[in-house]
Amino acid sequence: MHQSVAHIKNEKLSEHFRAHEPLAQYTSWRIGGAAEFYVAPESEAEIARIVQFAQSQGMPLTVLGGGSNVLLSDQGLPGLVMHITHRFSGFEFQPDGHVIVKAGTRLGTLIRKAMSLNLGGIEQLWGIPGTLGGAVVMNAGACNTETFAVVETVTSLTPQGQRVTRSKAEINHGYRWSDYKYNGEIVLEATLKLAPTQAEVIAENFQKADLRRQPQHSIRQPNCGSVFRNPNNNFAGRLIEQMGAKGRICGGVQVSPDHANFIVNTGKATAQDACRLIQSLQADVWQQYHVQLEPEVIFLGEF
């Protein structure tokens, strides 16, 4: 066994540790290389231990959540990849409508449970893939609402291993971003404030959100969701469709014929395929409309 692998195993960071773990399987795009070292923590204590170890070794540390909004390099990722997923998930509903949610919890699971309790506020986020942690980091949104509309507090771990809880007022956030996208902190959990709501109202909001996302639901090939942020007073998909780029192919990826802001993996796509297609769309939209399309997808690794 390679010495560094043995060294990490001896640290007992987690039962779920592997070397040279293929990462494409953990992304909705099914694209990307392997992690040098992969670990999937089950507890906050394990997360803290992993962060401390990476710091002490000067080792790169990448946090991966639901993998629904990332493009992973074909070369993979060096150092440690910490996968915060179902092993670090769960929620606790309070009598007053608050719910404490761990970062690895799937949004869809949380929304279904809230609806069963007649608690409203997040049903319009239905259809957004990924985890609560990723939704906080990106301030995920849909149907004229966003994650921070219901966030009350967020608890995170700093790169130095300090546990910090901030109120919504203390967290900068906007369209598809929050402080956690840039500050290097790891979201551990969030407290959301939901409101008792008539079941009929929740069901109506849910159905509207589901109907609005039907074009996305019909896409069966692997994808990362919306590739580009919507420009001011416009829609990225509309611009791409207007210039006739629906269905455009580059290697193993294609602009979805169902939704022009989605790029699908047609079988054996590479990250470079996706990059080239993204760049060609940006160049053509700029040339035709003088609008700069900004990627919503997060790029991980070397490109």
If DSSP codes are grouped into helix, strand and coil, which group holds residue 216? helix
CA-nearest of 246, 288, 173, 223 to 69 is 223
- Helix extents (H) in the chain: 3-11, 44-57, 107-116, 132-138, 199-212, 214-217, 236-242, 271-289
Q: What angle do CA 44, 176, 229 make, to 5 degrees?
A: 140
Q: Is 213 a catalytic residue?
A: no
Catalytic residue, candidates 36, 123, 185, 296:
296
Cα–Cα nearest to 134, from 8, 300, 287, 246:
300
Buried b (16+ CB within 10 A) or exposed e, 135-145: bbbbbbbbbeb
Our answer to whether residue 146 is catalytic in this structure is no
Backbone angles phi, psi at 38, to 5 degrees: -125, 135
φ/ψ bin of 11: left (φ > 0), alpha (ψ from -120 to 50), beta (otherwise):
alpha
Triad 252, 253, 255: Cα angle to 5°? 155
Catalytic residue (choose from 14, 68, 178, 226): 226
Options 176, 178, 189, 256, the catalytic residue: 176
Strands 145-146 and 141-142: antiparallel
The answer to whether residue 68 is catalytic is no
Q: Which residues are catalytic?
A: 176, 226, 296
